[in-house]
Chains A and B, each alone.
Chain A
Amino acid sequence: MNKSLEKVQAALAGYSAEEGDLFNVTATDTDDMSMLTVIREDIEEFAILVTASDTQLLFNVALFDSAQVIDGQLASLNEMMLTLNIAMPLSSFALTGDIYSIFGAMSVNSEPSQIQEEVLVLSENIMDALEVCQQFLTKA
């Protein structure tokens, strides 16, 4: 397992959100890739995926794919995301392939307390981000 990811794993062991919801961490380590799956108990549908490059830790949460966006609303959704990027604390919106996500990036030299803060804030942003995007998404 990647050293930086080990650090994240250690920082999140037993760590919980304000309401006491724990962050469960699962490590995946293959020849092809190393990652952590961080799941906050009360929002288990949206996992935080943690990967590390040489310089950065990346915390990414896939929200929805473009197929779920109401026809003709993509441009408005994209504009809204760009507009809100600065307003969203510590996280930003992203588009990878056709998957929309929010993510946070930090230096691999970050302290455990900073990693905890990153994960907590990102997890809090998930529902807020979904709520604001919902107007552009198909129901079902």
Chain B
Amino acid sequence: MGFLNNVFNTLKGYGNEANDAFVDSQGIRIMEQEIREADQNQRKAKESLTDVMAEQQRIARKVTDLTASVNEYSAAIGKLLEANNEELAMETAEKLAELEADLDSNQAVLDSYNEQVKELKKIIKDSAKQMEALKREVAIVKSTEAAQKASEATAAQFSGTNSSLRSASASMERIKAKQQKRKDKMKAARELAKEESGGDLKDKLAAAGVIGSQTSASSILDRYRKDK
């Protein structure tokens, strides 16, 4: 079974009843137990791997030797037949048959060792991944718990329960309101600044005669008189 499957089975058992604090600490204990088991599995697999690899090398050498002998005897038979030495060729062929049978069975053993080495390496890698995964999970649970405890006093102000998180909806609304208030404040400040600098500009332009100075009742009357 793949390591994710193992992790999921552990977490599923824990997640189903994670609603109360006791089960929470129970969940951590279960995960920590799983981490220890994965560690033991890994150690065992490493020990087996050392043994299996030693054996694998021994058999591999034997296979190499046998292959060399088989080739040698095969070549010899060819030469003996060419030389019409039937009797010795027959004797050699009998030896070759033995060697080939030996080679076949040793090759089969070597194949199974190769397979076993692959499997053990996968177990070692998977146990490591499983340990890492569960350690991360434990860290998340513990840190969340610690943070909740730290803010329990604040949390109690917002929700009656202290085991659950305070309402996310309410918190979000509060943050949004706060952010909106800040935005409004900044917008107001910007507008104020604009008005002020705009006012300054108007005064300067009037002083320079570019725009008329303050509109007065008499200037309006002057406009009407001109139109007539």
Residues in chain A within 8 A of chain B (CB atoms)? 28, 32-33, 35, 37, 42-43, 45-47, 49-56, 58, 60, 62-65, 67-68, 94-99, 101, 103, 105, 127, 130-131, 133-134, 137-140
Contact = CB atoms under 8 A, between A and B. Distances in A.
Nearest to B139: A51
Contact of B165 (A43, A99, A127, A134): A99
Interface of B: 14-15, 18-19, 24, 27, 132, 135-137, 139-144, 146-148, 150-151, 164-172, 174-176, 178-179, 182
30 contacts: A28-B150, A32-B142, A35-B147, A37-B147, A42-B175, A42-B178, A45-B174, A49-B140, A53-B135, A54-B135, A55-B132, A58-B136, A60-B144, A64-B165, A65-B164, A96-B144, A97-B14, A97-B18, A97-B24, A97-B27, A98-B18, A101-B140, A101-B144, A105-B136, A127-B176, A130-B171, A130-B172, A134-B169, A138-B169, A140-B169
Contacts of B167: 64, 68, 137-140
A127 B172 contact: yes
Given A46-B171, A56-B132, 18 more contacts: A33-B146, A35-B139, A35-B146, A37-B150, A42-B178, A47-B147, A50-B143, A58-B136, A63-B165, A64-B165, A67-B19, A68-B165, A96-B137, A96-B144, A97-B14, A101-B144, A127-B176, A138-B167
